[in-house]
Amino acid sequence: MENITLNLQGSFIEENELKEIKPEIMAAQEMLLDRKGASSEMTGWLDCMYRMDKKELEDIKRAGRYIQENSQAFILLGIGGSYLGAKAAIEAVRGDFHNELCSPRVYYAGQNLSGPYLKKLIQLVKEKEICIIVISKSGTTLETALAFRVFRDLMEEKYKEESKNRIFVVTDKEKGALKTMSDLKGYKTFVVPDDIGGRYSVITPVGLLPMAAAGLDIDKFMEGLRSAAEEYGSRNFETNPCLLYAGARNILNRRNKEIEILVNYEPSCISIAEWWKQLYGESEGKEGKGIFPASLNFTTDLHSMGQFVQEGREILFETTLRIENCEDDLEVPFDSNDFDKLNYIAGKSFSYINSKAFEGTFLAHKEGNVPGLIITIPKMDEFYLAKLFYFFMMSCGISGYTIKVDPFTQPGVEAYKKNMFRLLGKKERI
């Protein structure tokens, strides 16, 4: 079995810098693994894969099969940590154009407050056989709750009594309006564990149920999680890539590299970067600290943002996510006329050409003084994706403790809500 690897050769990081930061990283890892750090009660994700009840997993698979057999489309309602991980997994594993090529189609709502978006989505799905998955840990998030109100009406009108069999809920085990409503209406519910926050919840029913409904192999995903917990729980700085990644990011940040760009060369991985941005942004961005997480999709963005990366302000470092083996590939055809002068690469695969684009870009950015880290994943399937999620989560927890913030809270996201609710005239409960 191959491992996910981290390559620091283009990072401009010296051996002695790694040695210097090692004690801090090791102390942060100890806080995390031994549950001695801030909000340690929210670190259930570290080992939840060993505690997951077999029956719960079977229930998730059964619900997933029901959705697959009874719907042409399912709509996942959720925002932030309640949908980004599942979206990333479904797109990465099912691949490009999955909605046109696979069944059921997957749509997302409750992740914005756009009327036009919701109206068009309803037009799109109303004549199809549909199921709904609503995910909200708090059960009170406005975006998700509003979209659910709209879709509940649609489902009740379309399916009457049967609608309750087509609505699946993932929420707190006892608190929140969503839980109360689910009990009253008789929806099948799954639990978001108390000790796991939104952005770390892709490895719970929050991610597993939509993945199962989209036909992903969640046994393989769980296997990947167990393998990750074992490998990335190692306390060996030199060989554990989670520790090295946390160390490298912080070394670069101390050199005023304030932005980390996660780069991919496969469009099916765009949402992995969206999930990653939430994970790092919400975990580290507090008390005036943190690296700003950004993402670029190459080679597309080389024709736009590539200019800034190459020659703009030297505040960036680049982390490239590479997939070693892409299954679906094709070769450049030979053309006897060669009008486009491309015969010099006829017979070469697109993966090969893409890999040369990566090598050329990496070198160019290095020459432009942009430190580069490379994370290589052997192939994109449920097993390795689970490992990648866990790799990033583990490293994020360590990195957060290293900069002395609490990586498991998000007090800053309340500020906009307070203002919005006041402006909307929401009455506080007495």
Residues with a catalytic annotation lie at 282, 303, 417
- For the bound state, the minimum distance from the C-beta of residue 193 to ligand PA5, rounded and expressed in Å, comes to 12
- For the bound state, the minimum distance from the C-beta of residue 36 to ligand PA5, rounded and expressed in Å, comes to 22
Which residues between 270 and 309 bind ligand PA5 (CB under 6 A)? 282
Which residues between 77 and 116 bind ligand PA5 (CB under 6 A)? 79-82
Quick check: 397 binds ligand PA5 (CB under 6 A)? no
- Candidates 44, 104, 198, 215: give the one binding ligand PA5 (CB under 6 A): 198
- For the bound state, the minimum distance from the C-beta of residue 353 to ligand PA5, rounded and expressed in Å, comes to 37
Quick check: 152 binds ligand PA5 (CB under 6 A)? no
List the structure tokens of 200.
């770390």
Quick check: 11 binds ligand PA5 (CB under 6 A)? no
- CB of 231 or CB of 274, closer to ligand PA5: 274
- CB of 26 or CB of 294, closer to ligand PA5: 294
Are the CB atoms for 274 and 280 separated by under 8 Å? no
- CB of 231 or CB of 282, closer to ligand PA5: 282
- CB of 11 or CB of 82, closer to ligand PA5: 82
- Candidates 104, 193, 197, 372: give the one binding ligand PA5 (CB under 6 A): 197
Which residues between 332 and 371 bind ligand PA5 (CB under 6 A)? none
- CB of 46 or CB of 323, closer to ligand PA5: 46
Quick check: 138 binds ligand PA5 (CB under 6 A)? yes
- Candidates 144, 204, 250, 319: give the one binding ligand PA5 (CB under 6 A): 144
Tell me the C-alpha distance between 203 and 281, whole Å. Answer: 19
- For the bound state, the minimum distance from the C-beta of residue 109 to ligand PA5, rounded and expressed in Å, comes to 13
- For the bound state, the minimum distance from the C-beta of residue 276 to ligand PA5, rounded and expressed in Å, comes to 13
- For the bound state, the minimum distance from the C-beta of residue 172 to ligand PA5, rounded and expressed in Å, comes to 8
Tell me the C-alpha distance between 399 and 120, whole Å. Answer: 41
Quick check: 141 binds ligand PA5 (CB under 6 A)? yes
- For the bound state, the minimum distance from the C-beta of residue 174 to ligand PA5, rounded and expressed in Å, comes to 14
- CB of 345 or CB of 420, closer to ligand PA5: 420
- Candidates 87, 98, 137, 152: give the one binding ligand PA5 (CB under 6 A): 137
Q: Name the one range near ligand PA5 by CB under 6 A: 27-35, 45-53, 193-201, 287-295.
A: 193-201
Q: Name the one range near ligand PA5 by CB under 6 A: 73-81, 113-121, 256-264, 336-344.
A: 73-81
- CB of 10 or CB of 281, closer to ligand PA5: 281
Give the chain as a 3 state SS string. Answer: CCCCEEEEEECCCCHHHHHHHHHHHHHHHHHHHCCCCCCHHHEHHHCHHHHCCHHHHHHHHHHHHHHHHHCCEEEEECCHHHCHHHHHHHHHHHCCCHHHHCCCEEEEECCCCCHHHHHHHHHHHCCCCEEEEEEECCCCCHHHHHHHHHHHHHHHHHHHHHHHHHEEEEECCCCCHHHHHHHHHCCEEEECCCCECHHHHHHCHHHHHHHHHCCCCHHHHHHHHHHHHHHHCCCCCCCCHHHHHHHHHHHHHHCCCCEEEEEECCHHHHHHHHHHHHHHHHHHCCCCCCCEEEEEECCHHHHCCHHHHHHCCCCEEEEEEEEEECCCCCECCCCCCCCCCCHHHCCCEHHHHHHHHHHHHHHHHHHCCCCEEEEEEEECCHHHHHHHHHHHHHHHHHHHHHCCCCCCCCHHHHHHHHHHHHHHCCCCCC
Nearest alpha-carbon partner for 151 in 183, 124, 175, 172: 124
Q: Which residues bind ligand PA5 (CB under 6 A)?
A: 79-82, 136-138, 141, 144, 197-199, 282, 410
